Structure 1
């Protein structure tokens, strides 16, 4: 006679039921440990005392992230000539510093804040250019500490300057939105054109080589950020992101009618669509080439300059770890 105390075999159904129960228990435990949502609203900016002080005391926990973004743009945007007051530059610095403190390389920006921050940063185009280029930035480096106020240049405007890691983290988070990235890319394209046009006709040595090299480094840094963004996407998502960026660059109607920036944009728009994104990687060198042609630079000087610019761009790209 069989032993009635012997264990019966566990059926497949029992195994499934047991697994579901364990999963539920694990989920409940995680919920109790971590809470339902550990991310503060709007990246915690409404609760940050410095942000509330500089952006506006009306900021509160019940404010939508869209309204917060509008408040940031309003508080930080300068006048029609591109000049910024101390309060305006301080407002954007406080916002970026608060975001930068949330973890190097790990900033997950609320989607509603991406375009407002891109808009605000674009209003500081010369400062963004200098920080991205990383050459003529002595004042930017010495004034970058979070507690140091923005600095004032001889023309009376105050300048935005933040730590390099903070700038890159915020740009990476903003660039998750391809339209925001396209805006920043167009901003840098125009600023590069202005910087090259301002080089004196008799410039030589560093006076001739620094402006195009700094510009190429700024563009290459944006290349590295784009690569870092698309690396985290699947193939179809990455392609959609690139397409949106290209459309934003191709549809721009605010460029100057002449100059190096306009010439490069015309060439970019005439490039076959399947080759456009790759052409961005060569933008700094190509804009230098166009600039050298417009200046009727002799061949030896032109070739030496292009080599320096290409090395500078490659170095800047490698500083971003995609």
Structure 2
């Protein structure tokens, strides 16, 4: 295991020098081969020596002649391996050097052993004093130091992995590869000149034993882990490894690793790491040129690539996986279909899978399920290798590659709308989502899967927004920009959920928060749709439009409000919608220029009152549902309010940019008032009263308008004139709220509209 000091102080040029000498050696062997062929082996080929002795001598001399040839091949391969090693080592040393220089530029010192410390000697006297007495400064320094140390340690570990791979190759290249060549431990006549090929061969043997359920030593497990980790981004290694293992072997290996992971427990991460390594290997091996938008599976461009030399592995592996995935690896009474362990393995990847591969795999799994509708049902508790509903798990994996999710549901691409109809829709063509079957005597009791549609929700959110699903502590930003494809997906989601008759648009529980996150990002559009903006009405036929600000959702208000009502069955999902709309209202108010006309002031306030009026109508429809008890009503209100207030000013980060850092004065004041009121109450019933007060449109808008006015130079709220302006604006809010609530009521109760 090379140390930091050894890596930085070693002269790597000795590797290329040695490689040159091995190349020279191959040349010398070639000279000897020619002389031996001419002066020794050649005499057995002349007419002057015939008979049995000549035949015997020819065979014996032929063995030696072939050894000269094998020696050349081995020497050339050794030279190639040494040059390969130099390339790898030089690359990693360069990265380590850059990391050290970066740390030094950041104010750190790096010792000869690679230890990173904060270089206080370079600080001025004043800065050093501040550092010694400022805990926040000290904490930031510790975090920076740890970050640089981790970066350096990882590069040293990567060099260790690479060094181990070189060792494997150098030991293997000198092994006689032909047991029938007439020699014992002779030269290698069929050597490999690539380190990764030797690593793949070594890893393949270990993996095959594992997949067969055979005992494998800890040392071999560690080597398999190292080989996959060291070659995580090497396509040649990945395809060689999986090509030998095959789809069937990949399924079996995934099953064995998952089973052993379950038995090992959380404290033993060895099998978890192996699953991650295998998943990353599959992700690397199945990369396809281009993307779904220009080379989707089935397209002429994709087919051309598939038939090329570069596409051979992908074609063979996906065809085999289609068969292995639908295969039952256990009994009919305790089935285990191949897709289950394979997709469970995929969930351990820390790199995104290719969008074409994910889309093709999704299509294949849907087709397999349609042929065998019980394929993804959990039967009893005998199999614990991931979720039985591997299709939903795949959608969760897909959400980590937002572009793949967008393509999978894009109605303008092949199968996009059919995917939504099958997974999200209702009716005869829709999926009957799997439940768990538990044997009970002579019968089977079916129960709901607690994780049902979790993957679908994540994929829908990623597909409509263009980024990975938000975390629990993140909120959607109401003015996020979207592509045409993302807007089409959002439009198609709303259209698929919207009822063809009546007013009820039921949204499954697991989809409510993800869809609220997605809709929350389109608040700048839903805000206009809810007030029946003419431009959005004109674009509703297409469901979206594009301008200089990106692409916009433009569905009709009826469908949108009914779907938002379905989403709002979850109080936290409603809170997300309410919070995102409130942020957008505040942004619009803050954009009113100083010394604006009354009309300019009133417009965003009236629009805000209308939008919150619609949300108020949705909220009342949920609360007045005959299925909701008094306790449930109080609990819903309390949870909704907590979610609205929680993180009201927390920005989200998309593409590395903080998009929620705009001024939010109105939301800030309103949230502060609500927070104080909540602190004074002790239970959900009391908090429900707070919700009634502060989620009421006129109360919220009054606080927001008042704080907005106080920050302006053209409204003096201490004068009669300023108070009159505020009073009139408040009246505008009331009128707009009434209109918005009426719109919601019309679409949620009147089936003729």
TM > 0.5:
yes
Alignment of 1:280 with 2:695, yes or no, is yes
How far 1:102 sits from its partner (Å)?
4.0
Aligned partners of 2:595, 2:536: CA distance in 1, in Å? 28
Aligned to 1:229: 622
Q: 5 Å matches for 1:47-62? A: 50=411, 53-54=415-416, 61=431
Q: Which moved more, 1:225-234 or 1:299-308?
A: 299-308
Q: Which has the higher contact order (CA 8 A, sep 6+)?
A: 1
Aligned to 2:114: none
How far 1:196 sits from its partner (Å)?
0.7
- Rate the CA distance shift 1:55–1:293 in 2: closer, same or farther, 3 A: farther
Alignment of 1:170 with 2:563, yes or no, is yes
- Rate the CA distance shift 1:57–1:111 in 2: closer, same or farther, 3 A: closer
Aligned to 2:462: 74
Q: How many residues align?
A: 271
Aligned to 1:261: 667
Aligned to 1:184: 577
Aligned to 1:104: 502
Structure 1 length-normalised TM: 0.76
Say if 1:54 and 1:94, in contact at 8 Å, map to a contact too. Answer: no
How far 1:62 sits from its partner (Å)?
7.7
- Rate the CA distance shift 1:78–1:208 in 2: closer, same or farther, 3 A: farther
Aligned partners of 2:676, 2:538: CA distance in 1, in Å? 43
Aligned partners of 1:84, 1:258: CA distance in 2, in Å? 23
Q: Which moved more, 1:109-118 or 1:158-167?
A: 109-118
Structure 1: gaps spanning 5 or more residues: 1-41, 43-47
Aligned partners of 2:493, 2:638: CA distance in 1, in Å? 30
Aligned partners of 1:82, 1:124: CA distance in 2, in Å? 7
Q: Choose the corresponding residue for 2:453, options 42, 48, 65.
A: 65
How far 1:258 sits from its partner (Å)?
5.2
How far 1:283 sits from its partner (Å)?
1.2
Say if 1:196 and 1:212, in contact at 8 Å, map to a contact too. Answer: yes
- Rate the CA distance shift 1:57–1:243 in 2: closer, same or farther, 3 A: closer
Classify the secondary structure of the residue corresponding to 1:162: coil
How far 1:206 sits from its partner (Å)?
2.1
Alignment of 1:154 with 2:548, yes or no, is yes
- Rate the CA distance shift 1:253–1:317 in 2: closer, same or farther, 3 A: closer
Classify the secondary structure of the residue corresponding to 1:320: helix
Q: 5 Å matches for 1:305-316? A: 305-316=729-740
Alignment of 1:252 with 2:647, yes or no, is yes
Alignment of 1:139 with 2:505, yes or no, is no
- The alignment's C-alpha RMSD in Å is 2.8
Q: Which moved more, 1:262-271 or 1:287-296?
A: 287-296
Aligned to 2:227: none
- Rate the CA distance shift 1:50–1:101 in 2: closer, same or farther, 3 A: farther
How far 1:96 sits from its partner (Å)?
0.5
Aligned partners of 2:419, 2:733: CA distance in 1, in Å? 46
Aligned to 2:592: 199
Structure whose alpha-carbon radius of gyration is higher: 2
Alignment of 1:294 with 2:711, yes or no, is yes
Aligned partners of 1:49, 1:126: CA distance in 2, in Å? 22
- Rate the CA distance shift 1:62–1:236 in 2: closer, same or farther, 3 A: closer
Aligned partners of 1:141, 1:200: CA distance in 2, in Å? 28
Aligned partners of 1:252, 1:160: CA distance in 2, in Å? 26
Structure 2 length-normalised TM: 0.34
1:61-82 per-residue CA deviation (whole Å, 9 max, x = no partner) reads 4875222222211111146982
Q: Choose the corresponding residue for 1:220, options 613, 623, 628.
A: 613
